[in-house]
Amino acid sequence: MGALLGFSRAIDAMNARLGWVADWLVLLSCLISAGNAFSRYAFSISSNAWLEIQWYMFAALVMLGTSYTLKKNEHVRVDIVYANVSTRAQIAIDIFGFILFMLPATVIMAYLSWPVFHNSWAQGEISSNAGGLLRWPVKIFLPVGFALLTLQGLSELIKRIAMLTGHMKADLHYERPLQ
C-alpha cells in the first residue's frame, strides 16, 4: 500500500504542477484575446497566428487542468444520493465509478485520440488560415490530457482504497463548484 500511495502522491504532485500551468494559461489567453481586439482597433492588424494561439491555450488549459480538477474533487456530481450517504458509501461509489466508468473511458479516449495527433504530426498538418499555425502541438494535448486523467483516476482510486482499508484518513470533501 505504501508504494501505491507514493505513486499516487507523485501523480498528484505532477498534475498539481500542470494545474498551475493551466491557471496561467487562463490569464495569458485572456490577455492575448483582449490584445487581439485592441490591436485591431488601433492598427487594423489582425494575425491568424495570434487568433489561433488563444484557442490552442484553451485546449491546453482544459486538457491539462482537468486532472487537477479531479484531484480537487470538483467535477460536478448529481448529489441527491451522494450527499446523503455515509462516507464509506461515498468511497464505495467512487471506487465503483473509477473502475467501471472513468478509467475505461479515459483509456479508450486516450487510445482513440492518439491517431489524431499522430496523423497530424506525420503529415505536418498546418492551419488552412493564412499565417496559421502547425496543428500537432495542440492535437497532442488530446492523448496527453486523457492519459494524465487516467493517471489521476488511478491515483484517486488508490487513495479511496487506502481510505477504505484505513491506510489513509477518509476525507471526501465535495462541494458543488461555483458557477
Partner 1 sequence: MNFIPLAWMAPLMFGGLVLFMLVGFPVSFSLAAVGLFFGFLAIEHGYFSFAFMQALPERVFGIVSNDTLLAIPFFTLMGAILERCGLAEDLLDGLGQLFGPVRGGLGYAVVVVGAILGAITGTVAASVIAMGLISLPVMMRYGYNMQFATGVIAASGTITQLIPPSLVLIVLADVLGRSVGDMYAGAWGPSMVQILLFCGYVFLVSIFKPQWVPGIPRESRTLHGWPLIKKCLWGIVPSLVLIFLVLGTIFLGLATPTEAGAMGTVGAIGLAVVHHKQFSPTARIAGWIALVVITVIGIVALAAPALYDELRAWLFIAFYAALAVVLAEGIRITELRKLIWQASQNTMRITAMVIFILIGSTIFVLVFRGVDGDPFIEHLLGGLPGGAVGFLIFVNVFVFFLAFFLDFFEIAFIIVPLLAPVAQKLGIDLIWFGVLLCVNMQTSFMHPPFGFALFYLRGIAPKEIKSSEIYWGAIPWVVLQVIMVAIVIAFPQLVTAFLDKGNNVDPDSITIEIPQSDFQNRDGSVELPGTAEGEAQEEEETPPPPDFSTPQK
Stretch of 2-10, 107-115, 157-165 contacting partner 1, by CB under 8 A: 107-115
Contact between 164 and partner 1 (CB under 8 A)?
no
| Residue corresponding to grid cell 498546418 | 126
Q: Which is nearer to partner 1, 62 or 134 (CB)?
A: 62
Q: Pick from 5, 14, 47, 74: which binds partner 1 (CB under 8 A)?
A: 74
Least Å distance, CB 74 to partner 1, is 5
Q: Which is nearer to partner 1, 6 or 17 (CB)?
A: 17
Nearest Cα neighbor of 148 from 26, 25, 13, 27 is: 13
Contact between 130 and partner 1 (CB under 8 A)?
no
- What spatial distance separates the first Cα and last Cα of the chain, rounded to whole Å? 37
Q: Find how far residue 54's CA is from the centre of its chain.
A: 17
Q: Residue 137: how many CB atoms within 10 A of its CB?
A: 14
C-alpha distances out from residue 71 to 11, 32, 50, 66, Å: 10, 29, 32, 9
Q: Which is nearer to partner 1, 29 or 155 (CB)?
A: 29
Contact between 24 and partner 1 (CB under 8 A)?
yes
